[in-house]
Amino acid sequence: MTLDPALFGEGPAREARFTVKRRWSECENYADGTPEWQMEFLHRQMNEECNVLENASRHLAEFPDVEWPLRMWLARQCFDEARHTIAYQRLFTARGGRVGQYPVLDFQYRILGKIATLIGRLAVQNRSFEADGLDAATFALGQARQRGDTELAELFEQQQADEVHHIRFANEWIRREIERDPRNVLKMAAALTQGMTAFQQVFADGGLRVTKYGVAEQERLEAGFAPHEVKVAVELSRERIAAVRNGEV
């Protein structure tokens, strides 16, 4: 599947040592649980955390008139994501990896580059991508603890705590914006539809068939999702996992 240029902006700048790919199928996708999978995962996460940093900083630059409290939250997110990026890099290199060893994706940055509104960007980045990251970090934290991998568990604990804050400030601001002007629901819905369509194109040809973790219900509640929103997320997650296992995706 080719990517629709109407759904993707330009990618972020990267050093020559990085090989940037546009689609999941073009990356190195190893079998879960193998040593190579673990190393590639750390490298991919390093780059994705950097993508989130770049998105948050771009919000600050492109929406300079947004109220000060939200600007402070976005600045804090930049700090947190920079810390995550460095933490993944340090762990990856400490375990023998070389930065640039594996191809990386830039889909988060490119997708948000085509979303014109801040409410749309926060709905896609913080309420969707970051919420999925919270689920992933919670699941991976339990796995790391079971393996006795203390270093990795501590990294996931840090990420899990920060993701809760990143999602919650976006949830709270989005709700206020909708109360102020109900038409903002349409802007958010349009952005989510656009973002999902782009995401499916990036992960076509295999990426959508990867069995995923469940929803971190308690953590999502702490992040400001309403109980009915968490219930819907759990139902959708279970349907997707069942579809993957049954070969329907």
For the chain, give every domain's residue range: 17-209
CA-angle at 170, arms to 168 and 174, nearest 5°? 120
- The pLDDT value recorded for residue 248 is 65
DSSP 179-200: HH-TTHHHHHHHHHHHHHHHHH
Which of 2, 20, 23, 4 has the alpha carbon at shortest distance from 12?
20
- For the ranges 77-91, 94-108, 226-240, the lowest mean pLDDT is seen at 226-240
- The pLDDT value recorded for residue 162 is 96
- The overall average pLDDT reported for the chain is 94
pLDDT band at 132 (very low <50, low <70, confident <90, very high): very high
Interval 183-233: pLDDT, tens: 999 999 999 999 999 999 999 988 777 666 889 999 999 999 999 999 999
Using left for φ > 0, alpha for ψ between -120 and 50, and beta otherwise, residue 148 falls in left
* CA–CA gap between residue 108 and residue 235 (Å, rounded): 25
pLDDT band at 37 (very low <50, low <70, confident <90, very high): very high
* CA–CA gap between residue 214 and residue 182 (Å, rounded): 31
Mean pLDDT (whole number) for 19-33: 92
Q: Among 1.10.287.110, 1.20.1260.10, 3.40.50.720, 3.50.50.60, what is the CATH number of 17-209?
A: 1.20.1260.10
Mean pLDDT (whole number) for 142-165: 95
Mean pLDDT (whole number) for 130-144: 93
Q: What is the 3-state secondary structure (H, E, C) of 91-112?
A: HHHHCCCCCCCCCEECHHHHHH
